[in-house]
Structure 1
Amino acid sequence: MPYIEVEKGVQYYYEDVGQGKPIVFVHGWGMNRQVWERQVVDFSDTFRVITIDCRGCGKSDKPAHGYEISKLADDLNKVVQNLGLEDATLVGWSAGGSIVMDYVTRFGGGAVTKAVSVGGAVPRYTSTEGFDVGVPQENVTQTLAAMRVNRPALVRAIADGCFHQDVGQPMKDWFFNNFMEQSWFTEKTMEDLGKIDLRDKLSDISIPVAFFHGLHDGVVPLSLSEYCVKEVQGAKLVVFENSSHAPFIEEIDRFNEELKSFIQS
């Protein structure tokens, strides 16, 4: 099976299919590469499609350290370097959007020439003085407390909350099962989401960036992407009117069309 060593003793599992301009898909908190299955199928005819399991998720190693957003972005950089990617597009969902945007602020403009945040917790997930568009810090505190008491129940609620449309119980169960493959240590990523702040770095982004967001997103507020579009020069906002937190599933065709159009623009 294909693995990349992102640091000594820590292996990332990845899948690499198709040929052409590369797209690297980065999943959200606690999930894994499988959430991108429709994009893998639909894009691999004309693109090189790479999906990864982040540290602590899926088939990747699950060490007790290294779950901060910046460290996960460092891991992503190792993946990009090891695969020798050029002219690549990064697509990050939810916390994956945070990882991708952190990467772009530090490494963008080299191997990576475009980036997309999908319902990303960017530039910071929580509200603070002078920034009232995030979620209350209390939300993160309560989530971490709930994980300690009953992690499956908390994960079930998050999985069910990813959808606006009636996608059916099998889809919700699939999301839940993917979530439950995560390491216990991914709670450290959730904790870091309550701290990170990329506001001062947004103006440094020099590559084309798009923010995709579900209109009914109850996990990450649409207002965050709206804020980012104003701060990142030339950024594009795409709102999916019939989606919550997973427009790549709830509006597959439009999502894929918008993504392809952005990459080829």
Structure 2
Amino acid sequence: MDQLLFRRPAMLADFAQMFFECELSDEFKEWFHGLGLEASSYATIKSAEALRDEDVRTDLKKVNVPTAIFHGKKDQICPFEFTEAMNEGIQYSFVVPFENSGHGLFFDEKEKFNSELFRFLEQ
């Protein structure tokens, strides 16, 4: 949390490096970093605290709609192993693994992301 409080710009730059698996242009990195800086500092800290402190596994059973779990196998932010718990906890779920993606799979594998999302929505 100290990094969010006292080194926010540097922490967000480091976070962006972990977010994507593919090579990023300098312009994209700058844009993504700007998104993080535009977010409320308070909200960013509270979100990070919730991610750290909340255990939502018992809430998964309350999800009772078809659920596609998209997850990058190279995710450094939320390990792929967490997918198993989500899939087991959500009754009507299935996993769509992204072999060459980190957390930012929507960018790392855009074509696959879009086609899998549309395939899921058409069901």
Q: Same fold (TM over 0.5)?
A: yes
Percent identity reads: 31
Q: What is aligned with 1:231?
A: 89
Task: Please tell me whether Structure 1 or Structure 2 has the larger radius of gyration of its CA atoms.
Answer: 1
Counterpart Cα distance in 2 of 1:257 and 1:168? 24
Alignment of 1:95-244 (within 5 A): 144-186=1-43, 187-244=45-102
Give the count of matched residue pairs: 122
Higher helix share: 2
Q: TM-score, normalised by structure 1?
A: 0.44
Segments ≥4 residues shifted beyond 2 Å: none
Deviation at 1:223, TM superposition (A): 1.1
Unaligned runs of 5+ in 2: none
Say whether the 8 Å CA contact 1:167–1:250 is kept in structure 2: no
Counterpart Cα distance in 2 of 1:251 and 1:212? 11
Q: Secondary structure at the match of 1:207?
A: coil
Code of the aligned partner of 1:258: E
Counterpart Cα distance in 1 of 2:98 and 2:114? 12
Deviation at 1:189, TM superposition (A): 1.6
- Cα deviation 1:181-235 (Å, max 9, x = unaligned): 0112121121122222221122222110111011110011111122111221131
Say whether the 8 Å CA contact 1:159–1:176 is kept in structure 2: yes
Q: TM-score, normalised by structure 2?
A: 0.92
Counterpart Cα distance in 2 of 1:203 and 1:243? 27
Counterpart Cα distance in 2 of 1:202 and 1:243? 24
Higher strand share: 1
Deviation at 1:167, TM superposition (A): 2.2
